[in-house]
Homo-oligomer: A and B are copies of this chain.
Amino acid sequence: MKFTSALASALLLSVSFLQAQTDPGIMRLQEFAYPAKRKILNIPNVNGLQVLKCDFHMHTVFTDGHVWPNVRVQEAWREGLDAISYTEHMEYNPHSKDVKVDHNRSHDLAVELAKENNIVLVKGTEVTRKTPPGHFNALFIQDASTLVENNDSALDQEAIDKVAAQKAFIFWNHPGWKAATIEGSYEWIDFVEKMYQEKKLHGIEVVNGLGFHKKALDWALDRNLTVIGNTDIHNLIAHDYNIGQEGVHRTMTLIMSKDRSAAGIRDALEAGRTVAWSSKYLFGKEENVRNLMNACVSISAPYHEKTNKKAGSTTKYYEISNNSDLYFELELKSGNGTKRIVLYPESKQILTAEAGQSKLTYEVVSTFIRSDKHLMFDVKL
Is the C-beta of A380 less than 8 angstroms from some C-beta in chain B?
Answer: no
Is the C-beta of A370 less than 8 angstroms from some C-beta in chain B?
Answer: no
Contact B211–A23 (Cβ < 8 Å):
no
Q: Mark interface residues in A67-106 (1 if CB within 8 Å of B CB, else 0).
A: 1101100100010000000000000101101111010010
Contact B350–A23 (Cβ < 8 Å):
no
Is the C-beta of A340 less than 8 angstroms from some C-beta in chain B?
Answer: yes
Is the C-beta of A149 less than 8 angstroms from some C-beta in chain B?
Answer: no
List B contacts of A39 (CB < 8 A): 346-347
Set B117, B210, B213: member contacting A33, Cβ < 8 A: B210
Residue of B nearest to A109 (CB): B98
Is the C-beta of A155 less than 8 angstroms from some C-beta in chain B?
Answer: no
Residue of B nearest to A248 (CB): B32
Copies of this chain present: 4
Contact A279–B30 (Cβ < 8 Å):
yes
Contact A240–B9 (Cβ < 8 Å):
yes
Is the C-beta of A321 less than 8 angstroms from some C-beta in chain B?
Answer: yes
Residue of B nearest to A64 (CB): B3
Is the C-beta of A348 less than 8 angstroms from some C-beta in chain B?
Answer: yes
Contact B68–A61 (Cβ < 8 Å):
yes
List B contacts of A350 (CB < 8 A): 7, 10-11, 38, 116-118
Q: Which of A173-181, A192-200, A220-228, A286-294 makes up part of the contact surface?
A: A173-181
Q: Which of A13-21, A262-270, A355-363 makes up part of the contact surface?
A: A13-21
Contact A214–B27 (Cβ < 8 Å):
yes
Is the C-beta of A377 less than 8 angstroms from some C-beta in chain B?
Answer: no
List B contacts of A98 (CB < 8 A): 62, 99-100, 102, 105, 109
Is the C-beta of A24 less than 8 angstroms from some C-beta in chain B?
Answer: yes
Is the C-beta of A310 less than 8 angstroms from some C-beta in chain B?
Answer: no
Contact B212–A27 (Cβ < 8 Å):
yes
Residue of B nearest to A339 (CB): B13
Contact B246–A115 (Cβ < 8 Å):
no
Contact B240–A33 (Cβ < 8 Å):
yes
Set B9, B322, B323: member contacting A235, Cβ < 8 A: B9
28 chain-A/chain-B pairs, Cβ below 8 angstroms = A13-B341, A23-B180, A23-B184, A25-B180, A26-B214, A29-B207, A29-B279, A30-B210, A32-B210, A32-B245, A32-B278, A34-B241, A35-B344, A37-B342, A37-B347, A40-B346, A42-B42, A61-B61, A61-B68, A67-B71, A78-B239, A98-B99, A98-B105, A99-B99, A115-B303, A116-B304, A118-B304, A118-B350
